[in-house]
Structure 1
Amino acid sequence: MLSQKSIRTKFILQLVSASATLIVIFSAILYQTIKISVFETITSSLRDYAAVIEKEIAPSNTALEYAFIHPVLPPEIRAKVVFLPKKNRTVELKQHAKGDQQLLSIFQPIWAHPHAFVVLTQEITQTDKMLERILRDILLINLSAIFLILFYALFLSRMLLVPIKILANKLSAMNEAFLRPVDTDTLPEEFLPLGKGINRLIDRIQTFVKYQKELFIGTAHELKTPLAVMKTKNEVTLLRPRESEKYIEALQSNIQAINEMNAMIGAILEIGRQEGAQFEEPAPIDLVAFLQERVTNFKILAHQEGKKIQLDIQTKYYQIVTQKTLLIHILQNFVQNAIKFSPNEGTITIRAYETPLEFMVTVEDEGEGIDETKDLFAPFKRYGNKGGTGLGLFLAKGAADALGATIHIANRPEKKGAIASLSLPKNQQKINKKRHR
């Protein structure tokens, strides 16, 4: 049974109904054309005979009908003269039945008398039966054609679904340990966008699985090391009695290690919160007003660290539909890193501007810069002499991927420091621009 929700069912029904309608219309036109052609041939012949006879016959009796035989008439045509009190003296045709016979008569006025007509009658029973046979044959051909179209529609729909079934089988055989891109070279052109979309999804899944594995391994390593150090210090401290200062030193070292582990656990929990934020309903915001509001808070944070933040926005209004929480997370990470690595009295510049294809937000610091050969977005990777869990940029990268945006970090080309950039593509973010005059 074909489901009513199936595209294949709808395709078959639409193809069969449209084809059947065209066949019926064409057959009706064909039958009417054949019928008209046959009757026009008979009618034309009767007109010719009536025109010849009309010129030769002069009625001798003006009150009675009478039949006659004329040498030009074939045997199947009967002729007679009738008197009818008609005002309209035009040639008329009349088809009528007599018993089992079908007859066609033509009434030709005889100009020698105002009420006289010569009537030629031809039996068309066989012609009528022939037309009925033609109609039955056309109906049988129509039914056969509709069944053939139905079978063709079933075959064609099955053939069109083959690429989808192949893709479905490949996807069902995949798991996180066996992810292979779909070979788009073997797909029909109509399925190329689907194949490419699946491959992009597979790439994202592979990246996600890779980072998750790195995260789990890194988490275990980062927590195991301080625990082992704490255990060793405690064991050494307990080997023999010591001064109270040594115990206090050991406890303070343990508290510091515990604080570092708590910070790491907090960062790991932040990953869970960020994944939950990916399900946040996108909402429209004015990105310019949003940046101005956030920078006010960032300035307070930078002032506490003895640093300054300046804002350079080159557009007055820019509306975007996005997930606000993820966007805040990216910007907050950029600014916190810039504050961390900038020197005292350093200036952090936040810029925002449009290009034909994207809206850019950059955060520039005056620190030592970065090593561009390193993967800065890998989890638990720390660079420089500053502390941290090494998960900030990893989380920012995940948030950007969820938004369909891209982030990039590079050294400033003209001066010391690094520049972190966020690119929001217009075609992916459903951006609606509005200019203030």
Structure 2
Amino acid sequence: MLSQKSIRDSFILQLVSASATLIVIFSVILYNYIKISIFEDITQELTKQAQIIASARTSSVEHMGINIFNPSLSSINNPSEIQVTIAIRVNQGNTISFEHSERNKQKFLSIYYPLEKRPHHFVSITKNISNTDILLDKIFTNVLIINLTAIFLILFYALFLSRMLVLPIRSLTNKLASMNENFLQIIDTQKLPDEFQPLGASINKLVERIQIFVNSQKELFIGAAHELKTPLAVMKTKNEVALIKLRDTEKYIETLKSNNQTINDMNKMIGNILEIGRQEGAQFEKPIEIDLVKFLREQINNYTILAKMEEKEIVARIAPKYYKVITQPTLLVHILQNFVQNAIKFTPKHGKITIQAHLNDEGLFIYIMDEGTGIDESKDLFAPFKRYGNQTGAGLGLFLAKNAADALGAKITLKNREDAQGTIATLFLPSRKHSL
């Protein structure tokens, strides 16, 4: 039974229906052409015979009967096949006419050809066309058999062709079904038909993103275990040392304060890890249309307050007046907030953080520039739990920003400034993902 949801079944049905319709139309036209051609030959022959008889002498016409027909005037010599008579037809006028008749299960075709010198008198030639009718019936039967055979062959071909067309889909399905988080393999798109190569390329991009996600999650779990295990070991060692012998109260208080500080640091780290979970939930946020320039200016106003509290200044240079996009605002906030907070953190007091944005054919570029000491561009700055310089933190900010950018289809980079000391963080939103 054909399924309405199946592309293959729909393809088979449409191909067979269209082909069968064309075959039937062509066969009807062909059969009628053959039929018309046969009867046209017969009528031409009868007309020619009638002209010969009508042009004969009047005395010959007056004695006309079946045997008056000169055999040399006709290609048919069998009297049972053709009859020639004189007919009187008052209401016909002076025109040639043809009539079909049937007697004793035999079919006949008659011509009535007017005589010029005898008003209302016509030469009537009647021909037995039973054999012609039988021939046409055989032609019709053969055409019908050929049609049924052709439709059956088309159905078989449609089944074969549809199976061949869905083969790449089945191949892709089998490859995807055999994959898991421990075995992710890139599909060789060169072996796919041209029509399926874009699909294969999209699947490969998805596989690459899954590989990055799985590897980053593994690295995150290993890093989290290491980051939590180390302070716990330090706390345990401090407690064991404090319990070896009696000490002054101040020593115990100092140990407890140190342990409390370590616990606070661990809580911050756990908070950052929970933030990863919240960010992954934000990736399922429904994209909405926003004016990104207006959104960016609103965020800059919030960051300006934070900068003033640190005795620093934010300078905004936003080139486009508006830029409509369909995106996920929560993920954008993750990226911008991380970049600006890092810029505020590393910029010295009374320094400036510059936020620029400009638009071109490729998309929208947002730059956050600080006046800090710069970065080591040879290191993986987006790996989890990586800290650089003497600043505190869990080392998850850039890792979160990279995950958010990947989810948006955006690109982020970090490099040292060329015009001055400091770092420039870039967020690039491709135009193919957004609309002006």
TM-score w.r.t. length of structure 1: 0.96
Between the aligned partners of 1:202 and 1:15, the Cα distance in structure 2 is 36
2:68 is aligned to 69
1:307 is aligned to 312
* Counterpart amino acid of residue 211 in structure 1: S
* Counterpart amino acid of residue 19 in structure 1: S
2:276 is aligned to 271
CA contact (8 A) 1:109 1:116 kept: yes
1:196-275 mapped onto 2 (5 Å cutoff): 196-275=201-280
Between the aligned partners of 2:101 and 2:354, the Cα distance in structure 1 is 101
1:25 is aligned to 25
Which one of 99, 117, 121 corresponds to residue 116 of structure 1? 121
Q: CA deviation at 1:68?
A: 5.2
TM-score w.r.t. length of structure 2: 0.96
Q: CA deviation at 1:88?
A: 3.0
Helix, strand or coil: the match of 1:408? strand
Between the aligned partners of 1:69 and 1:211, the Cα distance in structure 2 is 110
The verdict on how the C-alpha distance between 1:250 and 1:80 changes in structure 2, with shifts beyond 3 A counting, is same
Which one of 334, 346, 351 corresponds to residue 351 of structure 2? 346
Task: Return structure 1 stretches of 4+ with deviation > 6 angstroms.
Answer: 59-62
1:35 is aligned to 35
1:283-322 mapped onto 2 (5 Å cutoff): 283-322=288-327
The verdict on how the C-alpha distance between 1:128 and 1:87 changes in structure 2, with shifts beyond 3 A counting, is closer
- 1:86 is aligned to 2:91: yes
Helix, strand or coil: the match of 1:407? strand
Would you say how many aligned residue pairs link Structure 1 and Structure 2?
430
CA RMSD of aligned residues (A): 1.6
Q: CA deviation at 1:198?
A: 1.2
2:101 is aligned to 96
- 1:399 is aligned to 2:404: yes
- 1:427 is aligned to 2:426: no
The verdict on how the C-alpha distance between 1:88 and 1:362 changes in structure 2, with shifts beyond 3 A counting, is farther
The verdict on how the C-alpha distance between 1:41 and 1:425 changes in structure 2, with shifts beyond 3 A counting, is same
Q: CA deviation at 1:87?
A: 5.3
- 1:174 is aligned to 2:172: no
CA contact (8 A) 1:66 1:82 kept: no
* Counterpart amino acid of residue 362 in structure 2: L
* Counterpart amino acid of residue 356 in structure 2: R
2:383 is aligned to 378
The verdict on how the C-alpha distance between 1:78 and 1:238 changes in structure 2, with shifts beyond 3 A counting, is same
Q: CA deviation at 1:2?
A: 4.0
Between the aligned partners of 1:231 and 1:57, the Cα distance in structure 2 is 141
Q: CA deviation at 1:69?
A: 2.3
Q: CA deviation at 1:426?
A: 1.1
Between the aligned partners of 2:140 and 2:388, the Cα distance in structure 1 is 89
Between the aligned partners of 1:355 and 1:342, the Cα distance in structure 2 is 29
Q: CA deviation at 1:335?
A: 0.3
Deviates more, 1:187-196 or 1:122-131: 187-196
CA contact (8 A) 1:102 1:125 kept: yes
Q: CA deviation at 1:61?
A: 9.9
Between the aligned partners of 1:401 and 1:340, the Cα distance in structure 2 is 25
Structure 2: which 5+ residue stretches go unaligned?
A: none
Q: CA deviation at 1:59?
A: 7.5
The verdict on how the C-alpha distance between 1:59 and 1:349 changes in structure 2, with shifts beyond 3 A counting, is farther
* Counterpart amino acid of residue 354 in structure 1: L
1:130-149 mapped onto 2 (5 Å cutoff): 130-149=135-154
C-alpha distance after superposition, 1:180-205 (max 9, x if no partner): 11122221111111111111111111
CA contact (8 A) 2:54 2:61 kept: no
Structure 1: which 5+ residue stretches go unaligned?
A: none
Helix, strand or coil: the match of 2:98? strand
Q: CA deviation at 1:414?
A: 1.6
Between the aligned partners of 2:64 and 2:41, the Cα distance in structure 1 is 28
* Counterpart amino acid of residue 368 in structure 1: T
